[in-house]
Amino acid sequence: MFKRIMAPVDLAHVERLGTALDCAADLAKHWGVPIVYVGVTSSAPSNLAHNPKEFGQKLDAFAKAEAAKHGVETSAHTAIAHDPATEIDDALMRAISDTESDLVVMASHVPNVMDYIWPSNGGSLAEHAKCSVMVVRP
């Protein structure tokens, strides 16, 4: 049914992504398709990495660990944004096309009043993506 699953990953908050990551792995096993983990970073140094290359290495290590944990084929894709906090939706939209994914499985937060003012990343992606998007609550 699907050919490739894209799973956005915030390496700074991996502990909050467990349900979504498990869901993506279960779906990948069910359809026998690969998962590409997408991380968004800037070219400036951050708490996670000194540069995009180092960030990509950490994301690749994460993808390999998930492959070993779940027994599925994985890869990593690093998306660059000048300001990841404000450009993450656009970066993820480009990543869907760049990775040729036809399903996105991503974590969400518990809805709150701020969602009426500022839409969530998952909601924005589900609204505008040309592929299926599954938003998984923790």
Which residues have a Cβ under 8 Å from the Cβ of 30 and sit 6 or more positions away? Answer: none
The tens digit of pLDDT for each residue in 75-102 reads 999 999 988 888 999 999 999 999 999 9
Pairing of strands 132-136, 103-107: parallel
For 92, the token pair is: 């993820």
The tens digit of pLDDT for each residue in 101-136 reads 999 999 987 666 666 666 678 888 988 999 999 999
pTM of the model: 0.91
Residues in the chain, how many? 138
Summary mean pLDDT of the chain = 91
- pLDDT score recorded for residue 46: 85
